[in-house]
Every structure is written in structure tokens, then in C-alpha cells.
Amino acid sequence: MKIYHSLNDFVPEFRVVLTIGTFDGVHIGHQSILESMNDVAKKIGGESVMLTFYPHPKHVIYPDDDQLKLLSTIDEKSAMLQDYGLQHLIIQSFDNQFSRIRSVNFVRDILVNRLKISTLIIGYDHHFGRNREGNLDDLVSLSKIYDYDVLKIDPKKYNNISVSSTKIRALISEGNIDLANNYLNHPFLIQGTVVKGRSLGKEIGFPTANININNKWKLLPPYGVYSVEVDINEKTHFGMMNIGINPTFDDADLKIEVHIFDFDQNIYLVNSILICHLYFYS
């Protein structure tokens, strides 16, 4: 997958099959869009392209509202999109100026003139442009003027419930990791840098890797102990993750610590980044 950090960096030399959105968590609904994109791209001899935004638009438009936490960081999302077969990812910087682009101008100037789309594949409830004024009907109407195809993807359901990033965030916040993972179709993950701790766990025969998440918008589940899988040097290890404070050692700061089973190497030398897949809360 090729990553571009601006619309200006992307020069299409193929038929563009595009989708647009934040795709937080890359859940089963997003996966349905990605699957359709790859199918259409193969049929028309094109390639799949996603236009996403960073920071999240709500963090820019409502800077004083810190309630929206996200299922995936931009790095986590990029890795998952690659796993699901996306060929090109455009990460466009989102700021107040970009937020004021009118929906008709967005279609004409960005989708048509800049990205030169052949097919747009979009979720049923997609809105875009200034004040989210544009919708699916507008995209269909404008497609007749600018000669591109539009394919609407209906919501994906799990046990007759429509899946959305909002619902999954609520499940994670409640500690319902199992159901959240079903909605995601992959384990919820936490990725962070291994940092030096106080080594107090090692002293009592329970060594842990301390994880630092340098992203204030990353959603974390409630304080508690979670079953995890950790990938180290292409090998999967099982373990337990503790999220919370450590009153045993008179430490009131939030800590994310992972005890990895059957692992006796120096984690600081083996791997500086840990990706932990959460499975259940205990």
C-alpha cells in the first residue's frame, strides 16, 4: 500500500476507485466497502484509493470537546487498511480552511479534477463538505455532470444490529471486548512504545513491559486486566495487560503494563513497539 500525506502528492495514473471517510476501527462495515472497492478495481482495471483525514474532523471543528476518543490511531488504521487490501491511502491534513470547502466544490475540485475518480464507493449515510451539507443524493446527482459512477454500500449487521464505530466505542468503554471484536472482525488493538518502568514487577517475579501511548485521542477500555496476544519477531505470545494505576506501589499515574507468558528476553532490546490484541476482560 502506498501512503500519501497530501492530496497534492497523489498523481493518478490509473482508473481510481475511491472511498472517503475516517474508517475508525476498520470494522465489518468498512471491510465491506474495501472488498467492494477491490472487486470493482479488478473489473475495470483500476486501483483502490482511500481519502481519509487527520486529525479527525471533529477534533478540529470542536477543539474544546475532548470526549471523542478513537478506536485506532492513524498508524494502527493504516496497517489494518493494508491488511484488508487497500492499494493507496491519502492522509489529508484537516484544518479549519479545509472544513469550509462547499460540498459541490469538494466534488468538482478534489474528487473530479484532482483525484480523477472513475468510481466512488461510499457508505449509505456519508456526509461531506462544509457543515456536512453534502450527502449521497448529491454525489449521485453530480455524477451525471462529471461522469463517474457511485456505488452505495448498505450497513453491515451483526445479529441484526447495524455496526458503527460509535457503537464499538461504547462497547470498548464498557469493557465488552468480546462483542466489540465481533463488530470489528478483528481484535481491538493497543499499540505503543516500550518504555522503562521501575522494574518492581520483576522484583516480585512478575516482569512487565510498560507501554506508552503517545496519542491523547486513543480510546482505552476501563481499568482492569485483559487477555492479550502480542506479536514479537513474527511470533505470537499470550499475556495479560493491566490498565490502571498501581496502588500496591503507591503509583497514581495511569499505567499500561503487559506480562508476556513464556518470554524471558529483554523486551527493550527485542522490540521498541508492541502491538497488543485484546480479547477479554477479567
Q: How far apart are CA 110 and CA 94, in angstroms?
A: 14
- Cβ proximity of 146 and 109 under 8 Å: no
Up-side HSE of residue 148: CA atoms within 13 Å toward CB? 27
In terms of DSSP bridges, do strands 117-123 and 149-153 run parallel, antiparallel, or are they unpaired?
Answer: parallel
Average pLDDT over residues 165-179: 96
pLDDT higher than threshold 90 for residue 124: no
Is 174 within 8 Å of 15 (Cβ atoms)? no
pLDDT of residue 251: 58
According to DSSP, residue 118 is labeled E
Is pLDDT at 272 greater than 90 in this prediction?
no
- pLDDT value of residue 270: 60
Give the pLDDT score at 204: 39
pLDDT for residue 206: 59
247 pLDDT exceeds 90? no
Tell me the β-bridge partners of 63: none
According to the model, what pLDDT value does residue 279 have? 92
Poorest-pLDDT segment among 170-174, 210-214, 249-253, 276-280: 249-253
Mean of the pLDDT values across residues 148-176?
A: 96
* Angle between helices 165-174 and 177-184 in degrees, nearest 10: 160
Q: For the purposes of burial, counting CB atoms within 10 Å of the CB of 173, is it exposed (0-12), middle (13-18) or buried (19 or more)?
A: middle
Q: Is the pLDDT of residue 203 over 50?
A: no
Length of the chain: 282
Mean pLDDT on 93-105 = 96
User: What domains sit in the chain, N to C, each tagged with a CATH number?
Assistant: 2-162 (3.40.50.620), 187-281 (2.40.30.30)
Poorest-confidence range of 137-141, 192-196, 214-218?
A: 192-196
Give the percent of the chain with pLDDT over 90: 78
**Per-residue pLDDT, 282:** 63
Q: Residue 72 contacts by C-beta under 8 Å, 6 or more apart in sequence?
A: 24, 25, 26, 80, 189
pLDDT value, residue 250: 54
Residue type at position 120: L
Q: Judge whether residue 52 has pLDDT over 60.
A: yes
Tens of pLDDT, residue by residue over 77-90, are 999 999 999 999 99
- Residue (of 119, 129, 127, 153) closest to 45 by Cα position: 119
Give the pLDDT score at 133.
94
Mean pLDDT value across residues 203-212: 71
**Residues near 265 by beta carbon (within 8 Å), at least 6 away in sequence:** none
- The DSSP code sequence of 132-191 is G-B-HHHHHHHHHHHT-EEEEEPPPEETTEE--HHHHHHHHHHT-HHHHHHHHTS-EEEE
- Does pLDDT of 232 surpass 70? yes
Mean pLDDT of 243-257: 73
